[in-house]
Amino acid sequence: MAEKVVHVVFRPVPRCYVYIHYDPRKVRPGDSDQIDHVVYVGKGTRARAWVDTRPCSPAHRRWLRDLQYHGFTPDEYVRIEFRKRTSEEAIKLERQLLTFYRTKGVLLFNKERGYKGPVRPYDNKWMPDPKFGELGRTQRPPRKKGGEMEGKEKAMTAGEFKKTVKRTEDETSITYDLCPFEGQQQGAAAWYLGDLILKLSVGALNTSKAVVLLVDTRFVTTPQLDGFVEKLKAAGLRIEVRCLPLADVKR
């Protein structure tokens, strides 16, 4: 008997989703019909809904940074409305959601092509809006020097973090020595903790070992960093920020 060849074509699973950003500070517990806390509707793939390094509007970016500064994490302001859609399906659903919320009088940060209606403003006077790719993390009260304002720190990148950090691991813990970052220890801690929060949000945080961050007295914590640590501890991760005297730091 002659063999019969069957050609099978595997189609990729649609990977687009439609999400909303909402303000967790305005949520009314028990109100399942609440919609006035929604501030943005978007379409994305992978981690787009959870990251803030994105070309969004200045007001939307200020809003995201403000939430992070006060310790809110992405799982507290991101909700996925539709999953496993093609790009065309996701675009259609995104437009339907935009129409729904605007018809109900909800003011959004969205300003898509062709839209000429009102857009949600957001003014955060204590955290100046940074340029795209920079985070306005306030370490100390801004002060003038040479006619310029200080207090901003350029955002840490994965490459910079991995190049400078000193990592050691044993049977029970993983230690990251941030002291080599000197005056940028806050930025390094923010990058690493933010990366852990992102992995937690997408279910990719799988370490069972305790995590220790070594810093020195040049490190100044912020409400954002404290919020990150509390969130990770609540998720079951054993994490500690251990401060060393500057005299004990190996140069």
User: Alpha helix locations (H) across 87-181?
Assistant: 87-103, 158-164
Per the confidence metrics, is the pTM higher than 0.75?
no
Rounded to an integer, what is the distance from CA 145 to the centroid of its chain?
31
Domain end: 103, 126, 145, which one? Answer: 103
For residue 154 the two structure tokens come to 């350029």
What pLDDT is recorded for position 202? Answer: 65
Residues 6+ apart with CB under 8 A from 206: none
Most confident by average pLDDT, 28-32, 121-125, 222-226: 28-32
Residue 2, helix vs strand vs coil: coil
Position 40 pLDDT exceeds 90: yes
pLDDT in tens, 235-249: 888 999 998 887 666
**Contact at 8 Å (CB) between 7 and 29?**
no
- Same-domain pairing of 94 and 33: yes
**Contact at 8 Å (CB) between 232 and 196?**
yes
Question: Of 57 and 100, which is predicted with more confidence?
Answer: 100
Question: Of 157 and 202, which is predicted with more confidence?
Answer: 157
> Which residue range forms the structural domain that includes residue 29?
16-103
Domain end: 103, 136, 171, which one? Answer: 103
Q: How far apart are CA 32 and CA 160, in angstroms?
A: 44
Domain end: 103, 127, 162, which one? Answer: 103
Q: What is the largest CA-CA distance in the chain?
A: 89
pLDDT in tens, 87-140: 999 999 999 999 999 999 999 999 988 888 888 888 765 444 443 333 333 333
Q: Do the domain assignments include residue 139?
A: no
Q: Do the domain assignments include residue 239?
A: yes
Q: Do the domain assignments include residue 124?
A: no
- Same-domain pairing of 28 and 88: yes
What pLDDT is recorded for position 22? Answer: 95
Q: Do the domain assignments include residue 11?
A: no
What pLDDT is recorded for position 220? Answer: 80
SS3 helix, strand, coil % of the chain, rounded to 5? 35, 20, 45
**Contact at 8 Å (CB) between 190 and 225?**
yes
For residue 206 the two structure tokens come to 């799988």
Neighbouring C-beta atoms of residue 188, cutoff 10 Å: 23
Q: Do the domain assignments include residue 52?
A: yes
Q: Do the domain assignments include residue 174?
A: yes
**Contact at 8 Å (CB) between 155 and 133?**
yes
Count of the separate structural domains present in the chain: 2
Position 7 pLDDT exceeds 90: no
Mean pLDDT of 129-155: 43
Q: Which helix (H) or strand (E) holds 96?
A: helix 87-103
Mean pLDDT of 144-148: 45
Q: Do the domain assignments include residue 161?
A: yes
β-strand pairing of 148-149 with 144-145:
antiparallel
Q: Do the domain assignments include residue 67?
A: yes
